[in-house]
A = this chain, B = another copy of it.
């Protein structure tokens, strides 16, 4: 039973990710599992509950990967590099789930949507605080740490749209480039 539910969530992730939640019907999900539409409801209570399960698991993955790094002591730049690597690994490691979490969560009902909004805000806070700590230590320059956090998160989240596992750039190389862009920008590196 647990297994069947998992299969439903995996198929739903793929379909929600590629067509969007609203444009995916329960019968689309059932068809991919060789079931009749109504049969899904012996395993799940509603379409929204499937979305919620996907979203909540992905949210947990992101927090678990990034929070420990953010709260560790050490140079801010170094922690940011690792946080970027962790975030990119979660995105690329489960592209479909990540995409649904990042871009389809607004289709949740009010209560769950509010909870996700709070969770995302807390998550953004990890980046914001590490940037601010780097500034306070004289290590980094950022007039608006919150905007810096939004900036790097926006860039990383969009990876869920275009990343392909068989592409030229692996997760760590990609994360390395993004960290470099975030921390040093396009400035010609003086040596």
Contact = CB atoms under 8 A, between A and B. Distances in A.
Interface of A: 20, 22-23, 77, 80, 103, 106-107, 131, 134, 138-144, 147-148, 150-152, 154-155, 157-159, 162, 169, 174, 177-178, 180-189
Q: How many copies does the complex hold?
A: 2
A77 B106 CA distance: 37
Nearest to A168: B144
Contacts of A103: 103
A158 B148 contact: no
A186 B183 contact: yes
A177 B139 contact: no
Going nearest first, the 6 A-B pairs with the smallest beta carbon separation are A185-B185, A154-B158, A22-B22, A22-B23, A140-B186, A184-B185
B131 A186 contact: yes
